[in-house]
Amino acid sequence: MNPLFSIEKVFLLADIGNGKNNSYHVGDEAMFLQNLRKYQSLGIKVSASSRSINHKDLGFNEVLDIYIMNIPALLWFVLCSYIFRYFRLNLFPKRFRKTVEELVSSNMLHVSGGGNLNSFWPGHIYYRFLMITLADIFNKEIILTSQTIGLLKSTFHKFLLGLCLKKVNVIEVRDQAYSRRVLLNLGISDTKILNVIDDAYEYNFGPTLSRNIKKIIFDRFPDVKNKLRIGISMHRWPSITDFGTIKKIFEKLIQNYPNAYFFIIPHHFDDKNGLDLDFMTRLFDKNMKHVGFFDYKALIAIANKTKSTPADIIRVATANMDVVISSRYHGLVFALSSSVPALAINYDRYYSLKNKGLLSNFFNDSKTYIVPVNEIERVLDKTEKIIKNREKIVSELKFINKKLAKKYEDKFD
């Protein structure tokens, strides 16, 4: 690969931008923003595709992505790629033509994390296949970072990924073992695969902005003074079958710690307070004493006042917790990278792979910090142990973070 200093412009592909009802995904934005700010600090221009043009004052050229719904559409777009390459005719849909032009005028395609290359979301596989194909036929450098590869349940998905990922220069995976095995089974050379920490691990934006956000957050929640701060970040799980049991466990948790303040921290939300917020609003009564919600209106108000993003706010809020309980992968990333003890709740095999892979970077016995959702009652005793040993765990996390920070810097170089 060419040295980074020879690169003048990068095309960042990330699953970002507001979707239906202004939906916002904190983890995807955090990985993207960290990479964006790294490139900008080096004077490298960035173009990036998103679901909608809505990133203001972030200093990059934002163009639209295209969610490819089916195989015939994918085949047509791949054909358009070759026609554009060899006949200079841009036959792509009108709204997508600028995106194609921005990619081919860049030196490198950087597919920013995270877990979209699996059979749950085939449209993401198709889009990445298209963009990697375009970059390859125009002789661009191609890297993938912060990836979780799989679960892959379709032979066709395996075929597509095996075909396009062989054209990639570097593939960084974040779950230690599983994704590497998947890639090797797809025929990807082991020399291309690197085990790394997530792109959002060192997601930061300067101490002044962090202080401003922190002040506003705690001005909004004056009851938190001198209390144990426990952050809760839970998925919206439409297929959950025992919601009542989960609700009772968290009600019991609140009863067990009358001197604690519980912050409800969403990672996927929209302007209707749906998704994670909808799920957690049903788990926690907004009228409960010492329970504070970061809802859509509050997040946007803080973002506008501080000239920040919702991802920045969630990052700062999480870093200022004493303990975090999260089923969200980036809820755990934000906590652990700030030396905040965290307990993972794993809903399915996919999140078990991601969360265990992350925790193994920080703890020799990661099982101590994991609760499968079918054992949700274990949240009570495991949280108690974490709180009891919090100072020791914080000290251990600070030590490991010193080493991981160096590893992250080496990764980016």
Concatenate the DSSP letters of all residues of 16-59 into one string: -S--GGG-EEHHHHHHHHHHHHHHHHTT-EEEEEESSS---SSS
Q: What is the pLDDT of residue 139?
A: 97
pLDDT-derived band at 223, boundaries 50, 70, 90: confident
* Residue 201 is assigned to a structural domain of this protein: no
Out of 196, 219, 252, pick the residue that ends a domain: 196
Question: What's the CA gap between 185 and 187, in Å, rounded?
Answer: 5
* Residue 323 is assigned to a structural domain of this protein: yes
Q: What is the pLDDT of residue 375?
A: 94
Residues 325 and 386 occupy one common structural domain: yes
Residues 191 and 291 occupy one common structural domain: no
Residues 44 and 120 occupy one common structural domain: yes
Q: What is the pLDDT of residue 1?
A: 44
β 114-117/9-13 pair status: unpaired
pLDDT tens digits along 18-31: 887 889 999 999 99
Q: What is the pLDDT of residue 257?
A: 95
Out of 162, 196, 230, pick the residue that ends a domain: 196
* Residue 203 is assigned to a structural domain of this protein: no
Residues 190 and 254 occupy one common structural domain: no
Q: What is the pLDDT of residue 2?
A: 47
**What is the percentage of the chain residues whose pLDDT exceeds 90?**
80
Answer with the residue of higher pLDDT: 177 or 1: 177
Closest residue by Cα to residue 28 from 145, 129, 195:
145
* Residue 72 is assigned to a structural domain of this protein: yes
Residues 122 and 260 occupy one common structural domain: no
Residues 144 and 212 occupy one common structural domain: no
pLDDT(411) > 70: no
Residues 176 and 32 occupy one common structural domain: yes
Residues 18 and 132 occupy one common structural domain: yes
* Residue 130 is assigned to a structural domain of this protein: yes
The total number of structural domains in the chain stands at: 2
Report the CATH number that the domain containing residue 355 is assigned in CATH: 3.40.50.2000
Compute the CA torsion angle 71, 72, 76, 82 (nearest 10 deg).
50
Residues 334 and 385 occupy one common structural domain: yes
Is the alpha carbon torsion for 188, 191, 195, 199 positive or negative? negative
Residues 318 and 379 occupy one common structural domain: yes
Q: What is the pLDDT of residue 5?
A: 52
Q: What is the pLDDT of residue 412?
A: 61
Out of 142, 165, 196, pick the residue that ends a domain: 196
Question: What's the CA gap between 235 and 389, in Å, rounded?
Answer: 27
pLDDT tens digits along 26-49: 999 999 999 999 999 999 999 999
Residues 165 and 236 occupy one common structural domain: no
Residues 253 and 192 occupy one common structural domain: no
Which range of residues forms the domain containing residue 123?
A: 4-196
pLDDT(16) > 80: yes
pTM summary value = 0.94
* Residue 344 is assigned to a structural domain of this protein: yes
Report the mean per-residue pLDDT for the chain: 93
pLDDT tens digits along 137-189: 999 999 999 999 999 999 999 999 999 999 999 999 998 789 999 999 999 99
